[in-house]
Structure 1
Amino acid sequence: MTRIRLSFSTKVSLWVLLISVPLFLASVGVLFWQSHKMIRNEAVHRASDVLVGAMHRINRYLITAQTATNSNAWLVEQSLRADSLLSFTNRITTTNPYTDGCAISTEPGAIPGHPDGFMAVSFNDKGTIKTLIETDHVYFQERWYTVPRAQQKSVWVVSNEKKSELDMDDEVMIASYPRPLYNEHRQFVGIISTWLSLNHISHLLAEVRPYPHSYYMMLDEEGRFVGHPDSTRLSGKTIFSVADPQRESDLIALGYEMTRGKKGNMSVVINNTKSLVCYMPVEGTPWSLAIVCPDSDIMKGFNRLTYVVVALLIIGLILIFVYCHKDITFMLQPLQPLLEKAQAVTNGKLDVDITHTGRTDIIGVLQNSFATMLESLNYYINSVRNATEQTQRYNRELEHTTKLAMEAEQQKIVFIQNVSHQIRTPLNIIMGFSQVLNIPTDDASLGDAMESDEIKSIATTITHNSHLLVRMVMMLFDSSDVGKVKTSKINKREPVGCNDVCRRAIKFVTRQNPDVPVGFESEVADDFLLHTNGRYLEFTIEELLNNAVRYSDRQHVALQVKCHDQTVSFIVTDTGKGIPEAEREKIFRFFSKVDDFTEGLGLGLPLSKRHAESLGGNLTLDASYHDGCRFVLELPIS
């Protein structure tokens, strides 16, 4: 008995442990997931705040360069002399310590005595201001000269020239703020530009970091590095050239986001390190600034906490198993008296007194099982009763289903009769006129009259009714299961002229109803093209116009074409009795008609609805229009 009790206790303890482990893991998992999310959000806010602070620092330098350039430009335009230009560059560089240099470059002949152009340069060379006339540097093809000259405005430009070309010690890229210069006749005469070294910008950004290993990078509109702690990347490299398209697609996506002037944050793997990157455009420039924070810095404390929690979780589970095993062993000690009474009941001694107990453990459940036998018997009787009621309910449902099947059969018969009637009329017309054409005549003059007048009219009538038959058969085919498969052809799109389709549809309808005027208004030009399936678009417009003519007062039928940002609307409006509100739900159901005595198969509007949805749009009834009917077919432009 002791062996059994111990074995059962062990099993129960293991089951408790198996139940506890998922609960613990789920609870801890949710806690860690929420913690990870909160830490991530905090990191985003922290990095964004630091990024804004860095942006203010950069703006101070950029505004200084812009102010220095703009405030002296008009003075330079009034003093276009070689000595004056040297003086201006020296003064701008000396009085603006945040800048690294200034240059004034002119067109050929703008400065007397310099037919090939003139370039005055001043730059800060390790604390010493140097001013010189650059004679060997051909600047007419440089971006800092061609871009503002072409755009006729000031704009920040990352120059492809290096400082070594200006006899400077450092060989790094520079960011220039050039402004066009004009003479008193408003003729372009040159460029005044103030520059900052990209190394200077990178060192400035490195002074403020939210995490120990975080760093900044700044890109221009083409993805070139304007600022980066790795100075080798400040030599014309772009974020797209340093990224591996196969393994670093997210880095390329970051480059596209930054070059488009977007603001936000994203997770990017940079140099095999997962990092959080927050980015925003630099105001007044085509550049974008980003701060890169490695996940190892952000989640350092979180990872340390994870190891501690996992260790505590393992210790807690061990303690749960030990104490659970001891408690269950103690609780199973009263099982022996209950076992003896159960054996007496097995031997036929039904007078054993086993009363209900309030215990909820396994012993209490076992004791209460004998007392609930009668209750179980009642339960099974109730189950039989419920089964009988369920069978009756199934019978009622079967009766209802049978009734629906009979209604469907009746609807099929009505539909076949309707189809026969709709097809019989044009067939009779075609057969009648065919017999007329086959009647021989001996009168030559009568034959000539028939060829010139009546034969043409008869042929037109036969063609018209043939077209109606083909259209009706195609609608039946389109509404069938085979038709649904064939309508995959609707995906074949091509450029279609909106106005041309509308005019063909109006021509088709007015040919059948020459006494009904159809108005047409279009907001789009005749050469406006819609990328869609022209056949199904024309069918839908024809069906809408046919319904408008058939169910309206036949006096006020109009087709409008309206263009929106991404869609084109075809609006068919008529005046008449309209569609009752109670009948509007079934107008788009197949084989359903508002009035059973009217012509048609109940397929036109449902097929039009299906075609509109297949073309990526929708067909709706304008419920706000009460003078008749107004259907709106809306399709995407491309």
Structure 2
Amino acid sequence: MARRLGFGLRLQLVLALSAAFIIAFALLGVAAVQLGRRARESARVRDAEAAARVIAAGLAEGPNHARFVSLADAALGHGGIRGAEWERPRVQTWVRGVTGLGTPVEVPVEVRAPGGVGADTTRHGVVRLWVRPGDARAEAGFGNLMLFYVAFTGGAILLLTYLALTFLIVRPVEAVTRASERVAEGRLETQVPVRGAAEVAGLAQSFNAMARQLGAERLALEERLRQLEAARAETSAAQDQVLRSARLASVGRLAAGIAHEIGNPLAAILGLTEIARDADLDAEERDEFLARIQTETERIHRIIRDLLDFARQEQEPGAGDGERRADLGQVVADAVHLVAPQKDTAKLRIERRVEEVPPVRGSADRLTQVVLNLLLNAADAVEGEGDVVVEVAREGEEVVLSVSDTGPGIPEDVLEELFEPFVTTKPVGQGTGLGLAVCHTIVERVGGTITAENAEGGGARFVIRLPLA
């Protein structure tokens, strides 16, 4: 199960919507309360103005204290009116109720003074009503009611919005997330229901198409892997066949080279046998001839046994070349021992400079074939008479084996492709060009490398690097 990263989409939506609605509806609630307070204040002022006009109209016929008192008492207590004044120029102001506190509302009044018709006796006065401030408790109750209404409405809208986003976005996205986790586990047949908002439905369709494409590509890849595995098996079989063929070729060359080594002891055996049959020989002479016959026979047996041991493929069941261990010093000794009886190597001087090294990765039989091939090539290069140096030393986590000769060296035009099949420096008919290619294959199979170069003092030098076992 993959580790969850951060908050989920559902929680993020809740937090974002809650923050947005709290900010928006808090501002809306404050604005609504303030607007309501101002609206009620304006309504009281308008009611007070209407009452002031009524009083002013009742006093327009002339000053009458009783009428003023009657009109003022009728207005007091209504719409928050707590006091009334009739202020006239150069005349004492008539007052009723509590004045000087609250919001004043004034209405001008023209009063006709007595003096006869046509006399200019009009004087201006002002009727002033005092409106008390709004009741704080009532205002608080109204504000609380308004805030409750705003909060309730906002909560309902928040819940509906959350449910809508959950069904349209969150659940489809969660379905895509769970499906992607199943695909990551390798279940490429997974499909996601196409639902929700258009964008989310498009995402589900794209995911389904991707899953189908991945499934098809995996099937194609598996088929390709099967084909590659079959091709690898065929290639491995072909390489094994080439290795066996090269080995048999080396055996043939060794067999041809040791024919004279077997012929000479056989001739000696035949001669000694004829002499041993002579009846005139005493027992001591006959025993001497028989001992010489036995020595020559053992020599022939040893040569044939070494050749058969090299020719025989000794495979360990269940173990590949890279899983086997080989003593490189013994490998070099075996290869030199196989080359020694050859007629065309009689004058070849092989010097071994072998250090004590740990076992290396690889088959001793296959590595012997490699060293033998390099020794035979060196013998051909010096035409059977010259010096060959075999060195074995450890360098770090590798063992380095080198074979050097005093021949003419390797032409520069074939040096880069010397390990390619059918590339040879020998005259036509004297080499197949497969020996070094086989050596390259054997060394690479165990994780090693083989290179060729021309030595500074002349001649060719082959260097093999093998990993420790």
Q: Same fold (TM over 0.5)?
A: no
Normalised TM-score (structure 1): 0.30
Normalised TM-score (structure 2): 0.39
Structure showing greater relative contact order (alpha-carbon pairs closer than 8 Å, 6 or more residues apart): 2
Larger Rg, first or second structure (1 or 2) = 2
